[in-house]
Chain A
Amino acid sequence: MIEVDIALRVGDFELGAAFDAPAGSVTALFGRSGSGKSTIIDCICGLRRPDRGRITVEGETLFDAGAINVPPERRRLGYVFQDARLFPHLSVGTNLRYGERRARTDRPIAAFDDVVALLGIGHLLKRRPGTLSGGERQRVAIGRALLSQPRALLMDEPLAALDRERKTEVLPYIERLRDRFGLPILYVSHAVEEVVRLAQKVVRIEQGRITGVGPVEEMLSGGTIGDEHGPATVLRAVVKRHDTRFGLTTLEIGAGRELVTPAIEPPVGSAVRVRILARDVSLALETPTGLSIQNRLEASIAEMTRPSPFIVDVRLDIGAPLWSRVSAKATEELALAPGKRVIALIKTVALERD
């Protein structure tokens, strides 16, 4: 567990942050660039000194203003930087060993061969960092941090510098190490899809202030938080069955309700999260016929808000909350109002995983 309660002045604003990151799960520090996310993890790993407050990891106090300030090399935290920061004069293998050789622990958590296999970097060991692709570099950086036998892993937007394809390449490796090593992982990101896929807990930060802490489903659902695609709903789901003929996966999203998505990898029984953009959820008054849309969920309208004169955000109750964004005109024609029963329609292909 990482426990943080710090304050410091950064440029124009006062940064204050208090939260914890439990072991064996990913806590996302989520906010826009410039909101102070990286500063917070620089403080945790000792590269920056807070003005006030306290930082503890696994019960050991690493910083206590005026009393304790453990230097970075003694904090035993693995830091994966956005820009990998591999040592250009050392081979990939020597880079990986750099932290391992200096690990201050009697009980290593990660063995060299395991880490290399887990990250799929065995064929790169003799290469120089300068010859690696962005995705490879980031995997080596993750391996190097893990092999320093840390008590916690801090990841500062490790995928932000990668293009979409490389992101998809690296994400599964981060999922694996999350499930494998039982470390608290603090994951800094401004990308909703990464957070949805990796994190259990979200710490939302805006302008150096924490504006919310909670489970991913709560923190990333609803009209106020969204990315360029507008508001969305994040639902917890369990993989129920795979349909190889049509390349589909059926998820159970609670209370016996099912959602059909394009095929995903996790086996039957795995817990996954699905993110549904509000603008991909259509509403109908009765179950339509002769329609291509596969997902038809019975729902009742819980709440309606108008973010702008011609747009209406509808919070539906399907056992869990589900947001739908419709036009003001549709609202009027269907006479939508709180309490009314409707059918929520979601195209399967709109649920393509990022």
Chain B
Amino acid sequence: MFLSADEVNVLILSLQVATWSVAASMVPAVAIGWLLARYDFPGKTALDAILHLPLVLPPVVVGYVLLVLFAPKGPLGEPLREWFGFSFAFSWRGAVLASAVMGFPLMTQAIRLSAQGVDRKLEQAARTLGAPPWQVFLTVTLPLMAPGVLAGTVLSFARSLGEFGATITFVSNIPGETRTLPLAIYTYTQVPGGEGPGLRLVLISVVVALLALAGAEFLNRALTRRIGVSG
């Protein structure tokens, strides 16, 4: 490859942040997407609205809120540090959190739609065949939701690779720690003569995005084959 060590580091950091953010979002997104699709409960509308906030707020605002909450002396940051010795501030973990928060509504929405599409009659059939509700969920509902989970994962992964505003506000732009692809590109645009190296990173971004799309399409086809023609 023709990538410099710096470029490789930026790329690896970006993929690492995106992967962790998707991995950490998956289980809560499936749970919340399914809950929103299947149940009515008090506060459902409020929960739905809060989940969608990151989509409509300026990313800088989300980053600011995270900064206030998770700062070392913040209302969530302090207990986290005292009880678990864990901190998001100015580390790549903070970039993961910012990405996860920004991508969460996209993932939840895709999963929610797929959960609405699962035929509840199939779940009833599974019950009559001896499966208790949790087994029905694992063996029928979840596999049939798989295309939606995949779509949500891809969207949120892509969102994470592109995350800029919330990340730079929350955890700043620290080389090797929080400087992901978009932040690195931005940095180059701020220095004289940075257009060349900046363009190289732009091209890397495009290639990564295309590869992610191709991978998703491949998985989606495999899933469709598995789930069958008539759904």
A binds B: yes
Which of these, A81, A104, A131, contacts B125 with CB under 8 Å?
A81
Over the window 204-231 of chain B, the binary record of Cβ atoms lying under 8 Å from chain A Cβ atoms (1 yes, 0 no) is 0000000000000000000000111111
Q: Are the CB atoms of B129 and A131 closer together than 8 Å? A: no
Q: Which residues of A contact B119 (CB under 8 A)?
A: 85
| Cβ-based interface call for A189 (8 A) | no
Is A88 part of the binding interface, using a Cβ–Cβ cutoff of 8 Å? yes
Which residue of A45, A74, A87 is within 8 Å of B126 (Cβ)?
Answer: A87
Residue of B nearest to A94 (CB): B139
Q: Which of A95-103, A210-218, A344-352 contacts B (4 or more CB under 8 A)?
A: A95-103
Taking CB atoms and an 8 Å cut-off, the chain A residues in 76-115 that contact chain B are 76-79, 81, 83, 85, 87-89, 98-99, 102-104
A81 to B126, CA, bound (A): 12
- Could you say which residues of chain A place their CB within 8 Å of the CB of B139? 98
A75 CB to closest chain B CB (Å) equals 8
Interface centre among A98, A104, A129 (most CB of B within 10 A): A98
Q: Quick one: which of B98-142 are within 8 Å of A by CB? A: 119, 121-122, 124-132, 135, 139-140
Q: Which of A85, A104, A131 contacts B130 (CB 8 A)?
A: A104
A139 sits at the interface (CB 8 A)? no
The winner among B126, B129, B139 for most chain A CB atoms within 10 A is B129
Chain B residues contacting A81 (CB-CB under 8 Å) are 121, 125
Residue from B124, B130, B131, B146 with most neighbouring chain A CB atoms (10 Å): B130
Is A72 interfacial (CB-CB < 8 Å)?
Answer: yes
Q: Which of B127, B226, B227 contacts A47 (CB 8 A)?
A: B127
Q: How far is the CA of A71 from the CA of B126 in the complex (A)?
A: 12
- The CA-CA distance from A81 to B121 in the complex, in Å, is 9
Which B residues from 79 to 109 make CB contacts under 8 A with A?
none
Pick the 5 closest A-B CB pairs, nearest first. Answer: A102-B130, A130-B228, A99-B129, A130-B229, A130-B230
Beyond contacts A77-B128, A89-B144, A130-B231: 10 other A-B pairs, Cβ-Cβ < 8 A, are A45-B128, A47-B124, A73-B129, A81-B125, A83-B121, A102-B129, A103-B130, A104-B130, A130-B228, A148-B129
